Amino acid sequence: MGNFLEIESAARRLSAEERRRLLLSLAASLREEGRPLPAPRSFTPAEMQSWLKEDERDLAARKLAVLRDADRGDDWAEYAS
């Protein structure tokens, strides 16, 4: 297996347990190399507020959709609250 695409293709054929073991092995080998981690990313308060507002809009839309489904007889209304 010489190139990344071949390795990736072979990894897809592994079972879930084998992929988990492969991932842990790769992570361990990267840690052993001792390379420094990338610096933490910095976000402005405005960026974070924007994401929070977007999440709240998405949640409100989801609750509305669940309530509409409940009006049609679906049993998902309890998850909207």
Cβ 52 vs Cβ 43: under 8 Å = no
Residue 76 CB contacts under 8 Å (≥ 6 apart), including other chains: 66, 69, 70
Predicted pLDDT at 71: 73
Residue 65: the pLDDT is 87
**Residue 70: predicted pLDDT:** 75
Residue showing tokens 């669940």 = 66
pLDDT at residue 80, rounded to an integer: 53
Q: What is the pLDDT of residue 42?
A: 95
Length of the chain, please?
81
pLDDT tens sequence for the chain (81 residues): 469 999 999 999 999 999 999 999 999 998 899 888 789 999 999 999 999 999 999 999 999 888 887 777 655 555 555
Domain range list for the chain: 4-33, 45-80
Whether the CB-CB separation of 64 and 81 falls below 8 Å is answered with: no
